[in-house]
Amino acid sequence: MYLSLEKVLTKSNISTQNFWNFQKFEEFYVCVYTSREGSHVLFHHEVSCIFYFIFIVGLFNLYEDLYFTYLEINPLVVTKEGVYILDMAAKIDATADYICKPKWGDVVFPPPFGREAYPEEAYIADLDAKSGASLKLTLLNPRGRIWTMVAGGGASVVYSDTICDLGGVDELANYGEYSGAPSEQQTYDYAKTILSLMTNEKHPDGKVLIIGGSIANFTNVAATFKGIVRAIKDYQGPLKEHEVTIFVRRGGPNYQEGLRVMGEVGKTTGIPIHVFGTETHMTAIVGMALGHRPIPNQPPVAAHTANFLLNTSASAATPARTRNTSFCEHKLSTSVTDGMTPTAVEFKSNVCLSTPLAKATTLFSRQTKAIVWGMQTRAVQGMMDFDYVCSREEPSVVAMIYPFTGDHKQKFYWGHKEILLPVYKNMADAMKKHPDVDVLINFASLRSAFDSTMETMQYPQIHTIAIIAEGIPEALTRKLIKTSDEKGVTIIGPATVGGIKPGCFKIGNTGGMLDNILASKLYRPGSVAYVSRSGGMSNELNNIISHTTDGVFEGVAIGGDRFPGSTFMEHVLRYQDTPGVKMIVVLGEIGGTEEYNICQGIADGRITKPVVCWCIGTCATMFSSEVQFGHAGACANQASETAVAKNQALREAGAFVPNSFDELGDVIKFVYDDLVAKGIIVPAQEVPPPTVPMDYSWARELGLIRKPASFMTSICDERGQELIYAGMPITEVFKEEMGLGGVLGLLWFQRRLPRYACHFIEMCLMVTADHGPAVSGAHNTIVCARAGKDLVSSLTSGLLTIGDRFGGALDAAAKQFSKAFDSGLLPMEFVNKMKKDGVLIMGIGHRVKSINNPDMRVQILKDFVKQHFPSTQLLDYALEVEKITTSKKPNLILNVDGFIGVAFVDLLRTCGGFTRDEADEFVEIGTLNGIFVLGRSIGFIGHYLDQKRLKQGLYRHPWDDISYVLPEHMSM
């Protein structure tokens, strides 16, 4: 059975169908859809045709096999002859491409419904497909005056919400995000696309660009800002012409340097750029940009990522350390139905029929031990630094699993001390040797995360698993959920940064760098627990809660996928049963109905602690076209799944719901202050944490220290987006068709040589490539190859023979002839002097070639040099010497080594690219012999390959070719 997906109807794509006659009673409806619990089939059961039921079964199998997430046939015509599909709408899980590509074929996912993709949207989509980062762009109103460039999927939604809340929906030009630590070049490409779009046409009121974001967990903010700064410099003219004002707010690793650079570019270009850090509420810049709040005149307080090295006492209140968590376990499962099946029979797959094991209320403690799957050394070091600053007695990470290497040890720091952590090739060994481990943090890729997580759940000691990977197919995630429910395992993720329990444990990169951990007081527990979908927004919650309360007790980011491994309700109920938690914060979002379970829990009295809740994505109902927000699950399929509907329901249920995200901090503070006033929360004095030394590499990146480099290079730089040879990007090398000679000029001489010089170099390589198997270098290579050695060993054996007697005469000849010529010696005087001193003239003489049997290699080179070189003074001098030497013996010719040596001196001295001293220095340091070494390597490799191809055996020199000369008698 084969079903084809209907294409989206646009002006350029009209679908036509065959016409069928059918009766009304033959028309039916079929729908297959997916929920967290499984796949559901809705169909009419009062049909007598056997074809119909065969079709339903086949359709469901196809749905599962091809990773559909929704499939609706309306109408479906059933006759005695068969089943006919008249119209169908379907969705497939794009993340399953790596599984279903052979079955799907080439599937082109359509742009927002009702229009073609803009070229810029297609360009960013292509960048996103080629990048490990996340780059998204949807144009809403290209003529709008409000443009955004936001880091993070959750943050991008929050900024759009705030713009719409403040009346900017009609002027909002775009929605998009860049996240996942994009490179400088990727950020530049993304930024220049935005700047190009917003400077296409003017707006009478000017335009604003909001460069926002939450507090990054691991992205180097300064590094990503470099790309944006480059784009601003490139577009400074159009930006000023279109009266663009830029507002920047960002936090995270090295954000202070990023803000400084952004502020500097504003001063140098004359573009008004206002920069703010974590001291400013995340969305406050929206109000400033839209004129709803004043722009502060004073600059933000100077700070630095290295501030955490300075241990200062503080008077801020902190909760008493006597707070303990509850170990009681209680699991409540409720659901909200869609009302989709009033007259239909429903079948479900993946429904767990066995009694599930209870999940732990307390996921983490000061004794929690974890294993990390994947070679994520930076994340592990961050966890250990967190453990140390929390005054844990020992690290929380006890081992790593990395299946691509053998068992070994990996070095980390525990405070000032270096320690070794075992790395295992397989999970069984790790679990057996560390029976006290109860948490696994899975950094496996989206392709292997499912298998490694399923394997982990076979070990009863594990009760919590964090899955970091984004893009796991929904069908596989639902299998993980089903298994975890059966085994009583709590899954955090997929598509998450993890979670944190201040003073106890943190998952991977959660909480960001140590400066943010200390600034948000995450090294000790507070009274507020939160649960969020977004990892970036969870860090923003850490910041908001630390500014408005005594801090975070625990925080979890369940992940942005449609079906996260654990739900809001599961974590809210854990917090409800934990005595140390006094209030709960939930940051929900558009899509799904999980927030209604919280409403039901409050109504039923199961949730009694105050809950502050806000669902992001309220702007979705204001957009005229479809928008896929940053998270996979952030999409409303019905009215009840909109953020507006859920916020209203939560407010009516008794939760504390602000009017916008802008007011979230105020509401949290209001609830907290009330709990303090009632004596439910009793603040305690702050205890300063121990200091943790900064890693050398990070301190150097921040510019705090300097150290002489062990190596210096001036010819090549591979660190950027593009390889650079002596200042020239590799794309330019090919564009200019510089050839091998041009590349050699860049890497050896740091010059772009004239074309004739590049051609001469290539000719030298060609004529020196080989001179038969009898010469010592080729002979050694052949013997070594026949002894069974590898290519590199055989090549090295041949190269080691190069010296003054074989192939090494280029430098010596250049030096001897140059010295004689520069000293003013006549050719005859030079010859006589060398004879008197008993020194051979290097580059003169050949065993076979002579004046009567000239070396055609020399003749070819001489013809080219005479035709193209500006001057050949030294070559002419050497040819005069040749006349004298050949008059005495015809084979004392200027050989190919000598010719290349003297011709190269003429090239260096007369091509215009070198001073006389520079030319002499290149000769002195042995550059010219490199020509012979490079050229002859080609021949040596040829001989090696020839011997292997001919399958020649071990070489043994014949006895009759050896003269054995031994003493006839040896007396004692």
Q: What's the 3-state SS for 479-524?
A: HHHHHHHHHCCEEECCCCCCEEECCCEECCCCCCCHHHHHHCCCCC
- Determine the pLDDT at residue 112: 57
Identify the bridge partners of residue 611 per DSSP, sorted by sequence position.
584
- Going through 298-339 in order, the beta strands assigned E by DSSP cover 317-319
**C-alpha dist (Å) from residue 608 to 598, 615, 631, 669, 816:** 11, 20, 30, 19, 96
Q: What's the 3-state SS for 672-693?
A: HHHHHHCCCCCEEECCCCCCCC
pTM of the shown model:
0.77
**C-alpha dist (Å) from residue 109 to 97, 133, 138, 477, 784:** 11, 19, 14, 22, 57
Sort strands 88-92 and 83-85 into parallel, antiparallel or unpaired: unpaired
- Determine the pLDDT at residue 413: 94
Identify the bridge partners of residue 324 per DSSP, sorted by sequence position.
none
CA atoms within 13 A on the CB side of 230: 17
User: What is the DSSP track for 805-824?
Assistant: TTB-HHHHHHHHHHHHHHTT
Total Cβ atoms within 10 A of residue 328: 10
Q: Between helices 791-799 and 776-786, what is the axis angle to 10°?
A: 150
* Selection from 926, 874, 863, 873 nearest residue 898 by Cα: 874
Q: How many angstroms separate the CA atoms of 888 and 443, rounded?
A: 78
CA atoms within 13 A on the CB side of 212: 32
What does residue 136 show for φ and ψ, rounded to 5 degrees? -130, 145
Asked about 957 being catalytic, the answer comes back as: no
How many separate helices (H) and strands (E) can be counted in the chain? 32, 30
Identify the bridge partners of residue 251 per DSSP, sorted by sequence position.
215
List of the chain residues with pLDDT < 50 = 1-14, 16, 301-354
Total Cβ atoms within 10 A of residue 802: 18
Q: How many angstroms separate the CA atoms of 898 and 885, rounded?
A: 14
Q: Which candidate in 631, 759, 957, 969 is catalytic?
A: 631
Question: Which amino acid would we find at residue 918?
Answer: E
* Secondary structure of residue 469 in the 3-state scheme: coil
* Cβ(547)–Cβ(528) below 8 Å: no
Q: What sign does the dihedral 267-214-642-476 (CA atoms) show? A: positive
Q: How many angstroms separate the CA atoms of 553 and 533, rounded?
A: 18
Helix or strand (DSSP H, E) at 887: helix 873-888
Q: How many angstroms separate the CA atoms of 759 and 757, rounded?
A: 5
Q: What is the pLDDT of residues 571-617, one digit of tens each?
A: 999 999 999 999 999 999 988 889 999 999 999 999 999 999 999 98
Burial of 336 (0-12, 13-18, 19+ CB in 10 A): middle
* Secondary structure of residue 666 in the 3-state scheme: helix
- Determine the pLDDT at residue 74: 87
Q: What is the pLDDT of residues 808-835, one digit of tens each?
A: 788 999 999 999 999 999 999 999 999 9
* Residue 622: DSSP 8-state: G
* Secondary structure of residue 179 in the 3-state scheme: strand
Q: How many angstroms separate the CA atoms of 527 and 516, rounded?
A: 19
**C-alpha dist (Å) from residue 444 to 348, 375, 585, 649, 842:** 30, 9, 30, 38, 62
* Cβ(134)–Cβ(629) below 8 Å: no
What does residue 730 show for φ and ψ, rounded to 5 degrees? -60, -30
- Report how far apart the first and last C-alpha atoms of the chain are (Å, whole number): 99
Token pair for 80: 């005695």
* Helix, strand, coil tally for the chain in percent (to 5): 40, 15, 45
Q: How many angstroms separate the CA atoms of 42 and 35, rounded?
A: 13
